[in-house]
Amino acid sequence: MHLTEIINDQITKLNLCESCAKRKGSDVEQHFGIADLLSALSDVETPAQPGGGIPSPSKNKCQSCGLTYEDFKKIGRLGCSECYTTFKPSLLPLLKRIHGSNQHTGKSPTPTALRELKSNNKLHEELDAAKQELLKAVKKEEFEEAAALRDKIKFIEKKIKDADK
């Protein structure tokens, strides 16, 4: 989790791993005002209802946990999974404003990363084959062949280790 706060030209950066972010959750929220941010972002115009009116999320209440949209704006968290359905008309514009889209598109590896992955997979396959050959050579007591295969295995393992760096 990467958070940056700028107040009066004073920059405060906070970089936390997932477990530290969970432990510091309330401290982070108090310092960086996550609920305030969500509240400000959620004040975007909400879409019109079929009857012509604008939905009033503050009057909606989650049937499962009892959370209201106003509560969500104050605390910055939904109460349960049903809240997503209850507050959907108001959450969609909020998600779009925060993320640029309300549809998750995921990530795709770069062509370079794909080539490296394929190369690494080939090395692992080659290593497994060499280990199998080594076992057969030892079983047949072909020790010169086994020594050559041992050296080949060490070489492949070094290539894999170097590729992982």
pLDDT more than 90, % of the chain: 27
Task: Give 122-155 pLDDT, tens digit per residue.
Answer: 999 999 999 999 999 999 999 999 999 999 999 9
Each domain of the chain, given as residue ranges in start order, spans 1-32, 43-48+55-105, 111-163
pLDDT more than 70, % of the chain: 72
- Going through the chain in order, the beta strands assigned E by DSSP cover 2-7, 10-15
Average pLDDT of span 28-48: 52
Contact, 48 vs 79, CB < 8 A? no
pTM of the model: 0.38
What lies within 8 Å, CB to CB, of 15 at 6+ separation is 1, 2, 3
Handedness of CA 21, 23, 26, 31 (dihedral sign): negative
| CA dist., res. 34 & res. 44, Å (int) | 17
Contact, 25 vs 19, CB < 8 A? no
| Residue 12 bridge partners (DSSP) | 5
Q: What SS3 state is found at 58?
A: coil
Task: Give 69-78 pLDDT, tens digit per residue.
Answer: 888 888 888 8
Neighbour-count burial for 24-40, b at 16+ CB within 10 Å, e otherwise: eeeebbeeeebbeebbe
CB burial of residue 79 (10 Å; 0-12, 13-18, 19+): middle
Residue 60 confidence (pLDDT)? 76
pLDDT confidence tier of residue 54, bands split at 50, 70 and 90: very low
Contact, 154 vs 131, CB < 8 A? no
Tokens of 105: 């598109």
